[in-house]
Each structure stands twice: as structure tokens, then as C-alpha cells.
């Protein structure tokens, strides 16, 4: 069995075991949209996933969250498989929670130009703190 002193150096080197990439690795080019024929209805579309993951840029530890997207389409809808692949591009990316939420909203608005969009990125508790970031377009 290893002593506390023996483990101390190994513990201090744990940060060196994980590689992360920067926000430039988020691939918004994966996002696709298709024509929506019912823009006059004002229907609200809700998409959610409990599988959002990115990396804290300071600790290199994963941040897990639930992402909820609600939008009223103008003339384009977000294609779901492309959204899944886009969200997967965040895995391994070092980005603060608040920036991740803003980047997602920015990219989704750019691809589908909705009448209205709200997102909530609700992170799991980490370090005893709970973070939830909510944003709207247009900015309310």
C-alpha cells in the first residue's frame, strides 16, 4: 500500500494526464437547417439533452449539463443529427460554463435565424456549487 507521501507527487501530476483543446475546436460547421413551411403558426420547438459535456479550462475536469433549447422558427429548423454532432464537438474543449452557453446560442441563431430562441445550460453540481446559464434571442 502506498503512503500519503508516495502518492502526493502522483496526485500533483494528475493535471498532466488529460489533454484538452480550445474553443476553436467547436465545429459550428456541423450544424444544418432545413426549410420550415409553417412559420406563421408560431409553434415552439423544444429540444433537450442531458448529455452536454465540456472541460473546465482551469482544472481540466469535465462539466456535465442539461441543455434545453426552445425556439420559434422563422423559416428554418435545426436538423437534430447535426445538432448532436455539434454538441459532441464540445467534448474535450476547455471552455467556461458561461461562454459555452453563449457560444451555443450564437451558433444556433446563426444557422436558423429564429424569431425567438431561449437556451438554458444547467450544469451538475461541482465543488458544491450549482450553475445554470439562461440566454434569450433576441436579447430580452
Q: Which of 15, 35, 48, 56 is catalytic?
A: 56
Q: Which of 37, 63, 112, 120 is catalytic?
A: 63
Q: Which residues pair with 71 in a beta bridge?
A: 45, 117
Determine contact, residues 99/23, Cβ cutoff 8 Å. yes
As to burial, measured by CB atoms within 10 angstroms (0-12 exposed, 13-18 middle, 19+ buried), residue 13 is: exposed
What secondary structure letter does DSSP report for 124? P
Does 5 qualify as catalytic in the annotation? no
Does 120 qualify as catalytic in the annotation? no
| Residues contacting residue 38 through CB under 8 Å, at least 6 positions apart | none
- Catalytic sites, residue numbers: 56, 63
Amino acid at each position: 500500500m502506498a503512503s500519503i507521501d508516495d502518492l502526493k507527487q502522483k496526485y500533483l501530476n494528475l493535471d498532466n494526464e488529460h489533454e484538452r483543446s480550445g474553443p476553436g475546436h467547436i465545429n459550428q460547421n456541423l450544424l444544418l437547417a432545413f426549410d420550415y413551411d409553417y412559420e406563421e403558426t408560431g409553434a415552439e420547438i423544444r429540444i433537450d439533452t442531458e448529455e452536454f459535456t465540456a472541460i473546465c479550462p482551469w482544472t481540466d475536469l469535465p462539466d456535465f449539463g442539461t441543455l434545453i433549447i426552445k425556439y420559434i422558427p422563422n423559416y428554418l429548423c435545426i436538423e437534430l443529427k447535426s445538432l448532436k454532432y455539434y454538441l459532441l464537438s464540445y467534448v474535450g474543449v476547455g471552455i467556461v460554463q458561461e461562454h459555452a452557453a453563449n457560444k451555443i446560442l450564437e451558433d444556433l441563431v446563426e444557422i436558423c435565424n429564429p424569431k425567438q430562441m431561449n437556451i438554458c445550460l444547467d450544469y451538475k453540481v461541482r465543488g458544491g456549487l450549482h450553475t445554470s446559464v439562461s440566454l434569450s434571442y433576441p436579447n430580452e
